[in-house]
């Protein structure tokens, strides 16, 4: 039997239960139709529909702006919003973006992406003057002038996280000395240098992810962030000129507060963790020297999605198991456990049993807490 809903349709359920049902609906068109059922469902659905907004085209931004104008109250419901210009014809989205953004007084999370072929800096310049008093996180995929970005950051004193992993940041040395440390910034992701010796480092920045870097930039990370980092994630490290990789002794010495160290693996024809960033067995004769500091959790993950064959997966499993037990036994003064994943399989966590030392047994189990953004939450 088929039932047709009409505006007079009513089911006597508590608002909390209705809200749980509504939050399971991902189709935004269905949510819009649900708003037309009755006033109660309209009010409940409106909060879900406008709480987290994703706009992909210039036309969608225009419709969103008209919706805000027709009912200004909705602007206060938006806590998270994403803008994406997917083609060159959508770059006009940035001409009208400041207008709707400026009305979102309760916005906490902002994502802005653009076509990477557009003129340098133009889109971000368009929104750099917008002020969002409750903004907590900002992510962007665009070309950004460093001066504009730093000015935007300083103007938002509640900003806790910045993710610029897909952005190219163009330096502007003339403005560095005018930037003040940002009190609330704790989590930073960037693939090109944002901080420098001329830029005061945010005093509470404790979580850092560098997806790409040159080997010669390793000392700069230590100099700027070494004393304060709690979590460090590093991606592909390119060996441009002759330089020495870190040893684990360097890591525990240069990062005295570090609790989580995530290194991305890159597959070669034979299983290998590589030594461009870290030589895991260098200075191991010093591993018995006890330094008073918290133990570190290591994470090794594969940046590629899948291995090609089951044989490769088995070879990598065996290789990483072998390396993990060796690192744990030789550096048990400093390493608590190692988490790794190299394919679509679940994350594994390996530790040594209470026996410790060279006679310790490898304890391997699925790590259900680990996820890709775990480094942010340590």
Three-state SS at 266? coil
Over pLDDT 90: what percentage of the chain? Answer: 20
Average pLDDT over residues 318-327: 85
Cα–Cα distance, 199 to 170 (Å, whole number)? 14
User: CA 221, CA 36: separation in Å to the nearest integer?
Assistant: 54
Return mean pLDDT, the chain: 79
Q: Is pLDDT larger for residue 38 or for residue 76?
A: 76
**362, 325 in Cβ contact below 8 A?**
yes
Tell me what pLDDT residue 257 has: 94
Q: What is the pLDDT of residue 115?
A: 61
Range name among 204-208, 236-240, 333-337, 369-373 with the lowest pLDDT average: 236-240
Percent of the chain past pLDDT 70, that is, above it, reads 78
The size of the chain, in residues, is 378
Return the top range by mean pLDDT from 26-30, 318-322, 336-340.
336-340
At residue 162 the predicted structure's pLDDT band, cuts being 50, 70 and 90, is very high
CB 193 within 8 A of CB 169: yes
pLDDT at 60: 81
Over 90: is that where the pLDDT of 149 sits? no
- Residue 106: pLDDT band (50, 70, 90) is very high
Residue scoring higher pLDDT (232 or 150): 232
pLDDT (average), residues 41-61: 83
Residue 126 and residue 145: Cα distance in Å, rounded? 12
**Tens digit of each residue's pLDDT (9 = 90 or more) over 283-316:** 766 656 667 778 999 998 876 655 567 777 778 8
* Cβ atoms of 345 and 335 closer than 8 Å: no
Residue 131 has pLDDT above 50, yes or no: yes
Q: Which CATH architecture has domain 17-153?
A: Alpha-Beta Horseshoe (3.80)
204 Cβ neighbours under 8 A, 6+ residues apart: 183, 184, 185, 186
- Average of per-residue pLDDT across 101-130: 77
**Residue 228 three-state SS:** coil
Q: Which of 103-107, 211-215, 247-251 has the lowest mean pLDDT?
A: 211-215
Judge whether 146 and 171 are in contact, CB under 8 Å: yes
Q: At residue 85, does pLDDT exceed 90?
A: no
Distance between CA atoms of 306 and 293, rounded to whole angstroms? 36
Q: Which stretches of the chain are DSSP H helices? A: 15-22, 28-34, 39-51, 58-70, 93-96, 98-101, 122-127, 146-154, 218-225, 248-254, 310-330
Q: What is the pLDDT of residue 187?
A: 95
pLDDT at 79 over 90: yes
Distance CA 295, CA 255 (A): 11
- Average pLDDT estimate for 71-85: 88
Return the CA Rg of the chain: 25
Burial class (CB in 10 A: 0-12, 13-18, 19+), 246: buried
Q: CA torsion angle for 245, 248, 252, 255 (degrees, to 10)?
A: 30
How does pLDDT run across 28-37, given as a tens digit for each residue? Answer: 788 888 888 8
With beta carbons less than 8 A apart as the criterion, state whether 101 and 132 touch. Answer: yes
List the domain boundaries for the chain.
17-153, 206-278+295-377
Rounded to whole angstroms, the Cα distance separating 378 from 209 reads 13
pLDDT tens for 362-371 read 677 888 888 8
pTM of the model as a whole? 0.85
């Amino acid at each position: 039997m088929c039932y047709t809903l009409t505006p007079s349709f009513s089911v006597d359920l508590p608002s909390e239960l209705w809200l749980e049902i509504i939050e399971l609906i991902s189709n935004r068109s269905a949510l819009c139709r649900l708003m037309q059922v009755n006033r109660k469902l309209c009010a409940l659905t409106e909060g879900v529909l406008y709480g987290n907004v994703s706009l992909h085209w210039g036309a969608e931004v225009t419709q969103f702006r008209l919706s805000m104008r027709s009912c200004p109250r909705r602007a206060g419901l938006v806590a998270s919003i994403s803008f994406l210009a997917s083609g060159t014809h959508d770059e006009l989205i940035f001409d009208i973006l400041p207008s709707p953004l400026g009305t979102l007084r309760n916005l906490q999370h902002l994502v802005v992406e653009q076509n990477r072929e557009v003129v340098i800096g133009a889109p971000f310049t368009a929104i750099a003057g917008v002020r969002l008093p409750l903004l907590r996180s900002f992510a962007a995929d665009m070309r950004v002038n460093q001066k504009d970005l730093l000015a935007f950051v300083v103007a938002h004193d509640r900003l806790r996280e910045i993710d610029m992993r897909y952005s190219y940041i163009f330096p502007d040395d003339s403005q560095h000395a005018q930037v003040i440390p940002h009190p609330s910034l704790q989590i930073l992701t960037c693939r090109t240098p944002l901080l420098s010796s001329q830029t005061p480092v945010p005093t509470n920045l404790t979580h850092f992810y560098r997806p790409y870097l040159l080997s010669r930039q390793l000392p700069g990370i230590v100099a700027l962030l070494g004393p304060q980092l709690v979590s460090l994630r590093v991606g592909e490290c390119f060996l441009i000129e002759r330089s020495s990789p870190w040893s684990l002794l360097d890591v525990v010495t240069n990062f005295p507060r570090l609790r989580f160290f995530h290194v991305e693996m890159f597959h070669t024809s034979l299983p290998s963790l590589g030594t461009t960033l870290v030589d895991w067995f260098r200075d191991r004769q010093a591993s018995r020297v006890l330094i008073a500091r918290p133990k570190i959790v290591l994470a090794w993950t594969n940046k590629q999605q899948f291995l090609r064959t089951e044989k490769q997966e088995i070879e990598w499993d065996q290789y990483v198991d072998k390396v993990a037990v060796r690192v744990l036994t030789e550096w048990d003064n400093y390493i608590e456990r190692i988490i790794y994943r190299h394919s679509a399989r679940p994350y594994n966590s390996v530790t040594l049993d209470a026996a410790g030392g060279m006679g310790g047994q490898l304890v391997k189990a699925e790590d259900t807490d680990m996820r890709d953004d775990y480094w942010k939450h340590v």
